[in-house]
Amino acid sequence: MTVALLSIGTELLQGEIANSNAQWLGEQLTSIGLHVVRIESVGDDRAVLAATLRRLLAENHFVIATGGLGPTTDDLTAEVAAEVLGTQLALDDDALATMRRKLEKAGRIVRAGHVKQAHLPIGAEILPNSVGSAPGFVLAQEERLAFFMPGVPTEMRAMFEQHVVPRMMPSAKNDSFRIVLHTYGAGESIVAESLDGLEAAHPGVLLGFRITGPEVDVKVMGRASNQADARRLVEAAADDARSRLGSLVYGEGADSLPLVVARALRSRGWSLSVAESCTGGLIAREFTRTPASDYFVGATVTYTNAAKSKLLGVSEDTLRGHGSVSAEVAAEMAEGARRTFGSDVALAVTGIAGPTGATPDKPVGLVHWAVAHPGGTVVNMRVFPGNRIQVQQAASHAVLDELRRVCAAVRVSRPSNRGLGPNG
């Protein structure tokens, strides 16, 4: 069963927003065993949208469209879908009543635009919107189904999981399996070379590679007569890949580097503090994207030398002798944060994110970082390429990975007795 994804909205074509919906849907559909063969984007143009929808319906078993269900005049999806599938729009009283209840609960009133969103194709199956106001809908053409959902990612994802997946699952072959390994510390070519010959060693398995910032994802995919056989095939190949890649693999599936590090800290009973300079709070933000107060004590952004000395106790002699961007200062920042916050472990980073601040011996992109832990202090450095944002993001990844490796290497666990709160 083939699936085509259609993203609707001129803002997508003009680059105002990224098409995250298509990426997310493609991954979800593949994971349940459906075959996405086409992803297209169209603007808010009636004729182009109608022609594209007709073609995709003629070529595929399923079409999933997102966007264009809003309250404004350029939201044309419902009207065009009705035209293409041979029906008309009519006010759906149930959809309007549901919308009214949501709005009134939020202290809002029903406006003309909301009424517009309740005009839906006659004969359509309505898809309730548990997050926002605009309902989605399903239209059938012979044995083909077209799903229409809002373009707002949170609304679309909830609707897809609650109402679209149950409709599509019976059509999934359920004969495939996939494991995604996340790696950090080597480029795509090195990762690929490490896995050379793996496909030949595991017939039926295919490898795919995806670069996501400084990380490289390895997709280990396989098909068999049924999913159980496909799973066995893929798991054996994934074990082989992990063995070849070693410590480059930090996690898989829904793992992220901050989540993996957080698990490692929790398993050791270690508390954490962070001292940042060139990253400006980015590392602390990565940890606190999810509740973290059971291990995360606090953070400080010490941008100037005076702040490094006053808040972290960095020696003025060290600053004068080595400069603020140095291994010595990074180490004293980490040790100072550990002492100031009373944490078991502390991270520190200092560098030149650019575009200014370079010297003949300290180029833009130079970053020093340190991890102070119960067994000592680890210091490292690198010159990262790219613009300011890219250097900051690369530095954040490097520091997190350093802590991951420290957690893996240090076996001593000293649980913290600090009375931290339950929520972040």
Residue 415 lies in a domain: no
User: pLDDT tens across 91-134, in order?
Assistant: 999 999 999 998 888 889 989 989 999 999 999 999 999 998 89
Q: Residue 306 carries which side chain, given as an amino acid letter? A: A
Residue 223: pLDDT band by 50, 70, 90 thresholds?
confident
How far apart (Å, rounded) are the C-alpha atoms in residues 345 and 403? 9
Residue 424 lies in a domain: no
Residue 227: pLDDT band by 50, 70, 90 thresholds?
confident
User: pLDDT tens across 400-415, in order?
Assistant: 999 999 999 875 433 3
The pTM is what?
A: 0.76
For residue 291, what are the CA distances in angstroms to 100, 175, 266, 310, 404? Answer: 34, 37, 12, 29, 19
Share of the chain above pLDDT 90, in %: 86
Residue 9 lies in a domain: yes
For residues 269 and 202, membership in a common domain is answered with: no
For residues 385 and 329, membership in a common domain is answered with: yes
For residue 245, what are the CA distances in angstroms to 112, 137, 216? Answer: 58, 46, 12
Structurally, how many domains does the chain consist of?
3
For residues 109 and 132, membership in a common domain is answered with: yes
Mean pLDDT of 136-153: 95
CATH at 25? 3.40.980.10
Look at residue 411 in the predicted model and tell me its pLDDT: 53
DSSP 75-124: --HHHHHHHHTT--EEE-HHHHHHHHHHHHHTT----HHHHHHTEEETTP
Query: Exposed, middle or buried by CB within 10 Å (0-12, 13-18, 19+), for 333?
Result: buried
- Which residue among 171, 198, 225 closes a domain? 171
- Domain extent for 203: 176-252
Mean pLDDT of 137-152: 95
For residues 26 and 148, membership in a common domain is answered with: yes
For residues 138 and 49, membership in a common domain is answered with: yes
- Which residue among 171, 188, 215 closes a domain? 171
Residue 98 lies in a domain: yes
For residues 320 and 403, membership in a common domain is answered with: yes
- Which residue among 171, 186, 215 closes a domain? 171
Residue 418 lies in a domain: no
Pairing status of strand 376-383 against strand 366-373: antiparallel
Residue 414 lies in a domain: no
